[in-house]
């Protein structure tokens, strides 16, 4: 990256943080990497918390899944801390929902991919409909782990479904079906790729939630997922405690 480009990016960040950019201007920043948007929002969140003592988040239910539990409320940030929500955010017509992880210890800004989230919601509706019409039976395919199976799409009269991975764009991820009837994205392939790449096999203790590995290596949360542990040389989904 040239010095000129670095300087231009720095000025854009400073301008946004100081409230000098307006919505039409921030849309022009679409070429900025997702990481730059994360930096902008993280700085705004840190400033808000330092001033108010709380996080700028929307209310959620106790049962809301872990990585969806703390969505950022940009209404609390736009103005004094940001001139507008990031160009790729849902609030600005984008495909990412900004959330906070580690809210109690080290509040960290991440993104949730709304396309894969919506695919999961739509498949969940199909599974729920099948369960309702089949006397409580689930469209189970092959067993994958204790309490988990693949989905028999023939029973749903649907083509097999996958989502684009946010961790390796060239890959797609399948879905899981829990015995409770809950549909989830299967992140095991991405976890295995990361573990192999980083040669982490010897450092995994069998109790760590492997989703944390994806969080450390990416700007995206593994939304619509169950915890995973390292078992028998591979990531295995488990029922949340």
Residue 78 near residue 68 (C-beta atoms within 8 A): no
CA distances from residue 180 to 49, 128, 155, 176, 203 in whole angstroms, order as listed: 38, 11, 17, 11, 32
Residue 13 has, within 13 A of its CA and on its CB side, a CA count of 19
* Tokens 């160009």 belong to residue: 87
Domain boundaries, the chain: 3-106, 115-237
Structure tokens at 71: 């969505």
List CB contacts of 11: < 8 A, sequence separation 6 or more. none
Question: Rounded distance, CA 18 to CA 46, Å?
Answer: 14
- For 208, the 3-state DSSP assignment is coil
DSSP β-bridge partners for residue 57: 72
In contact, 220 and 112? CB cutoff 8 Å: yes
Residue 117: is it exposed, middle or buried by C-beta count within 10 angstroms (0-12/13-18/19+)? middle
Q: pTM for the whole thing?
A: 0.84
The Cα 211–Cα 213 span in angstroms is 5
pLDDT of the chain, 241 residues: tens digit per residue: 334 334 334 434 444 444 433 333 333 444 345 889 999 999 999 999 999 999 999 998 988 999 999 999 999 999 999 999 999 999 999 999 999 999 999 999 999 999 999 999 999 999 999 999 999 999 999 999 999 999 999 999 999 999 999 999 889 999 999 999 999 999 999 999 999 999 999 999 889 999 999 999 999 999 999 999 999 999 999 997 6
- Residue 33 pLDDT: 53
């Amino acid at each position: 990256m040239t010095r000129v480009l670095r300087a231009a990016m720095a000025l854009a960040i400073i301008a946004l943080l100081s409230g000098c950019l307006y919505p039409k201007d921030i849309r022009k920043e679409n070429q900025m990497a997702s990481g730059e948007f994360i930096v902008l929002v993280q700085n705004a969140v840190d400033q808000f918390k330092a001033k108010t003592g709380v996080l700028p988040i929307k209310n959620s239910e106790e049962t809301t899944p872990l990585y969806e539990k703390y969505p950022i409320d940009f209404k609390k940030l736009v103005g004094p801390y940001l001139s507008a929500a990031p160009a790729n955010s849902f609030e600005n017509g984008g495909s990412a929902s900004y959330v906070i992880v580690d809210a109690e210890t080290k509040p960290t800004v991440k993104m949730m991919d709304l396309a894969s989230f919506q695919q999961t919601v739509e498949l969940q509706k199909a599974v729920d409909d099948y369960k309702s019409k089949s006397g409580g039976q689930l469209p189970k395919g092959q067993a994958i782990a204790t309490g988990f199976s693949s989905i028999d799409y023939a029973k749903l009269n649907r083509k097999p479904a996958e989502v684009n991975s946010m961790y390796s764009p060239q890959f797609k991820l399948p879905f899981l079906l829990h015995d409770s009837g809950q549909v989830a994205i299967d992140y095991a392939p991405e976890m295995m790729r990361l573990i192999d790449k980083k040669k982490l096999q010897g450092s995994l203790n069998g109790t760590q939630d492997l989703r944390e590995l994806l969080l450390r290596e990416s700007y995206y949360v593994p939304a619509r997922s169950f915890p995973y542990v390292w078992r028998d040389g591979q990531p295995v989904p488990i029922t949340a405690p």
